[in-house]
Amino acid sequence: MGAGRRALITTAITVVCAVTVLAAPGTAFASPSPTPTPSATASPTPVTNKDLEAVRAKLDDLYHDAAVATDAYNAAEEQTRKQSAQIVELAKKIVKGQEKLDELKDRAGAAARSQYRTGGLPDEAQLILSDNPQAFLDGAGRILQGQRATKGLIAELTRTQDDLKQYTADASAQWQLLEKNRQAKAAAKKTVTTQIAAAEKLESQLEKKEKERLAKLEQQAALKAQTAWLDSGVLKDISGKASAEGKAAVAYATAQLGKPYEWGAEGPKSYDCSGLTSQAWASAGDPIPRTSQEQWKQLKHVDVKDMRPGDLIIYFDDASHVAMYIGDGAIIHAPRPGRTVTIAGAGSMPILGVVRPDA
């Protein structure tokens, strides 16, 4: 190991922290002071487990923030799709409304021309001047029907014009919302890529053996959390059997094991956490919201002791991660960038709650 490795790791954490802060909108900063160059004669300083724990904690923060931003991106993406579809439907209504309006105008014009040909005389005058009063009286009923039809035509014309105005106003409002969501997507994408790049930069400062030690520390932390969860006796109360849909969802998720995590991805080659769970349940014939936060908000909540395979476990206070419970205290999930879809302990992360898609 080269001289000053420990100082380099400490500096890397500091730099990464600064980069992520400066990436936030509206952050002011002063020109940095030159970074001291480690002395060529300094004795090698080993990177301790405490140093690596600091790296692990910072990586957890970076990837957590990236997950939150990914959820925001996915939500904006889903809204954009819905709004685009609504705009298409409104455009169809506008076209049909305009065609109907043109037809009604033609009919109204024909009615006006017919009235002009009769001279626009009142019925009494036409009766007096008629050479055949009986024929006129026989046609009076038809005249009244025609007048009612004309009034109905005018009323329908007015309604169609009003509908057309409303469709146009709705389309304009949807365009504004669409643009707002496009901006939200762009902002979320920038945050995601910034956080992931910062995490990758931090990890790149480690040598191979240090990365191996870091991975071992991560495994130990996950095992410690899982052990504490199991020691609470939670599994003795969990005995729910999977529904047919739940079995299908678990089968789908299991078939994705080993595929890479990719933020914003919904398969089939890669997934993010909620992309995996939403596609698994869609394949089971029960579509659910796209993001972990909306899955937490919209799906039925169940107690941990009542959960069964296929249920979704939501993690962290901000519902920024989701996994599928598969039984025996285990989950399948897409963890984070640089990892693959894998099986892990259900209690290896802080559990917010459990939701059931097929309630």
Residues identified as active-site: 273, 321, 333
CA distance 21 to 190: 13
Are residues 56 and 10 in contact, defined by beta-carbon separation less than 8 angstroms?
A: no
Question: Could you please report the per-residue DSSP string of 202-220?
Answer: HHHTS-HHHHHHHHHHHHH
The pair of three-digit structure tokens given for residue 266, joined into one six-digit string: 């919904």
The two beta strands, 351-356 and 312-315, are: antiparallel
CA distance 236 to 304: 11
Burial of 193 (0-12, 13-18, 19+ CB in 10 A): middle
Among residues 314, 179, 323, 158, the alpha carbon closest in space to that of 256 is found at 323
Among residues 101, 3, 17, the alpha carbon closest in space to that of 47 is found at 3
CA separation, residue 154 to residues 147, 167, 168, 279 (Å): 11, 20, 21, 51
Are residues 255 and 267 in contact, defined by beta-carbon separation less than 8 angstroms?
A: no
